[in-house]
């Protein structure tokens, strides 16, 4: 039976970086996959094997071929990746099949070292800024990891330099290390079967530097309140990409996006360098005009904050709001904006423009009902209005799950 063969090269050093590379065959034309991490990063065969296995697992599932890897994998990781496959093969039986992992050896899992903190995939977006800020406040942040070759192309020096400047500033403010990694995974994988988006190489980069941290955190894109599956990155399957000694967790799904904005509004460095953008400028900053920038700017305004200079420095005009493409994601964002603005009693013209845009997209009654329901939920979360005994209990539980408080007997 043909296999997806992963032939790892000897780790090389070049220009202050370590190059982890492998020749991949069995998924279309053979190709060379590589990752670069700083020379100071501690690498070993288990971490490299973990990163390469995650990098090719969906490609192997798509072609229905076992993965032959000439590096060891831990028993826990093999079990987790098998469960990952079961889920995706159930969700997409027409695209994916379960395959076997054939490492050079199966080794025992190392102990979990939570005291080393979390390595967070960091992009200067709302989700990753919230995760870094929240973990730092809880004392659980180990460091920030940014990956070149995904949102910012390998040849795009200007955008990458701008991003590095912002990430480095955030890392200094949090007093945590910043690791700059890069990969050609996106260039190779996007043309091959099994492509699910580029969160897999982010996980792989976290796995590569795992010896310096306790666990990996993937910032959530959707809250539990609005979660639907399958999504390429989600709280169910993301943890299956980790190993027991370096577990992976999706972080921040308990919070709605506007709650994330409320949290990072108190972090000056994040506000200064925020980049939730679909059309990054040549200097690496946010464009201030794309749908994500407009959504985020409106959330700052809805909460009563000044719109950051990074997002244009002013509230989007009614014309900009009217031109928003109301995707399901945009509907959630605009509904949260409307609820928060109403909750503050804000009646500025832009609020009416948001309401009108939602009404045109899905009906005035529906958007008003959604906004009213979200407003009530936000009032509880933000501490406005009376609470029942049950709601007080649920809020305390929510705070505990967010890491803000917890009984001493709870496990990490």
Query: Would you state the pLDDT for residue 91?
Result: 95
Mean of pLDDT values over 76-98: 97
Same domain as 119, residue 179: yes
H or E stretch covering 48: helix 45-63
In a domain, 278, yes or no: no
Same domain as 386, residue 292: yes
The CA distance from 138 to 123, in Å, is: 20
DSSP annotation of 194 = T
Burial of 383 (0-12, 13-18, 19+ CB in 10 A): exposed
Same domain as 145, residue 90: no
Query: Would you state the pLDDT for residue 349?
Result: 93
pLDDT over 90 percentage in the chain: 76
Of the candidates 181, 156, 177, 152, which has an alpha carbon nearest to the alpha carbon of residue 20?
Answer: 181
The CA distance from 153 to 156, in Å, is: 5
Structure tokens given for 158: 């200007």
Lowest mean pLDDT among 185-199, 351-365, 371-385: 371-385
Instruction: Give the domain-ending residue among 40, 72, 107.
Output: 107
Is the separation of the CB atoms in 227 and 253 below 8 Å? yes
Same domain as 306, residue 233: no
In a domain, 265, yes or no: no
CATH code (residue 140): 3.40.50
Same domain as 244, residue 136: yes
Same domain as 241, residue 123: yes
The CA distance from 44 to 42, in Å, is: 7
| Residue 408 confidence (pLDDT) above 80 | no
Same domain as 289, residue 179: no
Instruction: Give the domain-ending residue among 62, 91, 107.
Output: 107
In a domain, 271, yes or no: no
- How many of the other CB atoms lie within 10 Å of CB of 391? 12
DSSP annotation of 28 = S
pTM for the structure as a whole: 0.86
List all residues 6 or more positions away from 332 whose beta carbon is below 8 Å from its beta carbon. 226, 257
| Residue 254 confidence (pLDDT) above 60 | yes
Position 198 confidence tier, pLDDT thresholds 50, 70, 90: confident
SS (H, E, C) 74-132: EHHHHHHHHHHHHHHHHHCCCCCCCCCEECCCEECCCCCCHHHCEEEECCCCHHHHHHH
In a domain, 274, yes or no: no
Rounded to 10 deg, the angle between the 126-137 and 157-174 helix axes is 20
Of the candidates 17, 1, 18, which has an alpha carbon nearest to the alpha carbon of residue 9?
Answer: 18
Same domain as 135, residue 48: no
Mean of pLDDT values over 71-76: 98
- How many of the other CB atoms lie within 10 Å of CB of 205? 32
Query: Would you state the pLDDT for residue 392?
Result: 46
Query: Would you state the pLDDT for residue 70?
Result: 96
Mean of pLDDT values over 401-405: 45
Of the candidates 19, 93, 87, which has an alpha carbon nearest to the alpha carbon of residue 62?
Answer: 93
In a domain, 259, yes or no: no
Residue pLDDT, tens place only, 341-368? 999 999 999 999 999 999 998 743 343 4
- How many of the other CB atoms lie within 10 Å of CB of 193? 16
Mean of pLDDT values over 136-152: 96
Is the separation of the CB atoms in 194 and 96 below 8 Å? yes
Mean of pLDDT values over 393-401: 50
Same domain as 69, residue 198: no
Backbone angles phi, psi at 91, to 5 degrees: -70, -40
**How many domains does the structure of the chain reveal?**
3
Lowest mean pLDDT among 22-31, 163-172, 280-289: 280-289
Position 231 confidence tier, pLDDT thresholds 50, 70, 90: confident
Structure tokens given for 261: 């904005």
In a domain, 304, yes or no: yes
The CA distance from 106 to 38, in Å, is: 28
User: In angstroms, how far apart are the furthest CA atoms of the chain?
Assistant: 67
Same domain as 293, residue 310: yes
Query: Would you state the pLDDT for residue 372?
Result: 44
Query: Would you state the pLDDT for residue 385?
Result: 40
Query: Would you state the pLDDT for residue 367?
Result: 39
pLDDT over 70 percentage in the chain: 88
Of the candidates 59, 36, 31, which has an alpha carbon nearest to the alpha carbon of residue 187?
Answer: 31
In a domain, 279, yes or no: no
Instruction: Give the domain-ending residue among 107, 131, 154.
Output: 107
- How many of the other CB atoms lie within 10 Å of CB of 68? 19
- Highest mean pLDDT among 192-196, 202-206, 345-349 belongs to 202-206
Same domain as 165, residue 185: yes
Residue found under tokens 């917890």: 406
Same domain as 95, residue 167: no
In a domain, 268, yes or no: no
Mean pLDDT, the chain, as a whole number? 88
Residue pLDDT, tens place only, 299-340? 999 999 999 999 999 999 999 999 988 888 888 889 999 999
* Residue 227 domain boundaries: 114-251
DSSP string, 246-275: B-EEEE-TTS-HHHHHHHHTT-HHHHHH--
């Amino acid at each position: 039976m043909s296999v997806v063969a992963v032939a790892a090269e000897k780790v090389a050093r070049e220009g202050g970086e370590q190059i982890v590379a492998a020749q991949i065959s069995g998924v279309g034309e053979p190709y060379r996959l590589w990752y670069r991490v700083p020379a100071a990063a501690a690498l070993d065969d288990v971490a490299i094997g973990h990163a390469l296995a995650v990098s090719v697992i969906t490609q192997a599932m798509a072609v229905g071929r076992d993965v032959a890897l000439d590096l060891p994998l831990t028993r826990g990781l093999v079990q987790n990746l098998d469960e990952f496959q079961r889920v995706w093969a159930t969700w997409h039986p027409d695209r994916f099949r379960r395959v076997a992992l054939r490492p050079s050896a199966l080794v025992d899992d190392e102990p979990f070292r939570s005291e080393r903190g979390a390595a967070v995939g960091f992009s200067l977006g709302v989700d990753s800024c919230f995760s870094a800020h929240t973990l730092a406040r809880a004392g659980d942040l180990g460091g920030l990891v940014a990956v070149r070759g995904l949102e910012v192309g390998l040849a795009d020096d200007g955008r990458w330099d701008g991003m590095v400047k912002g990430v480095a500033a955030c890392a200094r403010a949090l007093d945590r290390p910043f690791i700059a990694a890069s990969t050609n995974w996106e260039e190779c994988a996007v043309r091959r079967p099994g492509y699910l988006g580029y969160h897999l190489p982010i996980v792989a980069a976290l796995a590569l530097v795992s010896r310096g941290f306790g666990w990996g955190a993937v910032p959530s894109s959707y809250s539990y309140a609005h979660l639907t599956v399958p999504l390429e990155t989600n709280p169910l399957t993301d943890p299956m990409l980790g190993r027991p000694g370096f577990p992976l967790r999706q972080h921040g799904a308990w919070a709605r996006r506007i709650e994330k904005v409320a949290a990072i509004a108190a972090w000056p460095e994040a506000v200064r360098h925020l980049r939730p953008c679909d059309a990054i400028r040549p200097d690496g900053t946010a464009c201030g005009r794309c749908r994500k920038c407009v959504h985020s700017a409106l959330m700052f305004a809805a909460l009563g904050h000044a719109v950051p200079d990074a997002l244009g420095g002013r509230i989007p005009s009614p014309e900009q709001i009217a031109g928003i493409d109301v995707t399901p994601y945009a509907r959630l964002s605009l509904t949260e904006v409307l609820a928060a603005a109403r909750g503050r009693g804000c009646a500025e013209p832009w609020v009416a423009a948001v309401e009108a845009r939602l009404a045109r997209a899905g009906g005035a009654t529906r958007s008003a009902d959604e906004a009213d329901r979200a407003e009530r939920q936000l009032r509880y979360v933000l501490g406005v209005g009376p609470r029942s005994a049950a709601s007080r209990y649920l809020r305390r539980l929510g705070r505990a799950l967010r890491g803000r408080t917890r009984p001493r007997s709870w496990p990490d």
